[in-house]
Amino acid sequence: MIEVASEARDRAYVPYSGFRMGAAVLTTDETIVPGSLVENVSLGLAMCAERVALFAAVAAGERPRALVLVSPRTDGAVTFPCGACLQVALELGGPGMVVVAVSTDGEREEIVLGDLLPRGPRKA
């Protein structure tokens, strides 16, 4: 999954920030789905790599069970998904989904989604 996310990172469209991010989702049927950050001059129209991968998994008829993000560090730390991406992951994969954040220099941190977003809104 890290390799797929790294390759997706190389395809990111980031003419404004230059902050390349790639993601990969492992689905319940063991398929790995990539996602790349896609920016837009109208910032609200940009889409994070994680949501691209999560939405693509759903579009393929699958549900995610793990998410990997590969990106540069933020403030010296491994970069984890933003709140919007965590909320989408919670909706589609549930609180037990594994989230792996990997820096471009290879440091890796893994955590369960419910621990990253413990009080996120959940479907009934």
Q: Write down the pLDDT at residue 123.
A: 75
Burial class (CB in 10 A: 0-12, 13-18, 19+), 50: buried
The gap from C-alpha 2 to its chain's centroid, in whole angstroms, comes to: 11
- Per-run averaged pLDDT (10 residues), the chain, 124 residues: 98 98 97 98 96 98 97 97 96 96 98 92 77
Out of 3.40.140.10, 3.40.190.10, 1.10.357.140, 3.30.360.10, select the CATH number for domain 2-116: 3.40.140.10
The predicted pLDDT at position 124 comes to: 67
Q: Is 50 a catalytic residue?
A: yes
CA torsion, ordered 108, 97, 30, 35, to nearest 10 deg: -60
**Cα separations in angstroms, 113 against 8, 31, 56, 65:** 22, 20, 19, 10
Cα–Cα distance, 18 to 31 (Å, whole number): 29
* Given 7, 50, 62, 91, the catalytic residue: 50
pLDDT, tens digit, 9 for 90 and up, residues 56-88? 999 999 999 999 999 999 999 999 999 999 999
What angle (nearest 5°) sits at the alpha carbon of residue 62, between those of residues 33 and 91? 95
The domain limits of the chain are 2-116
Tokens in use for 8?
């997706």
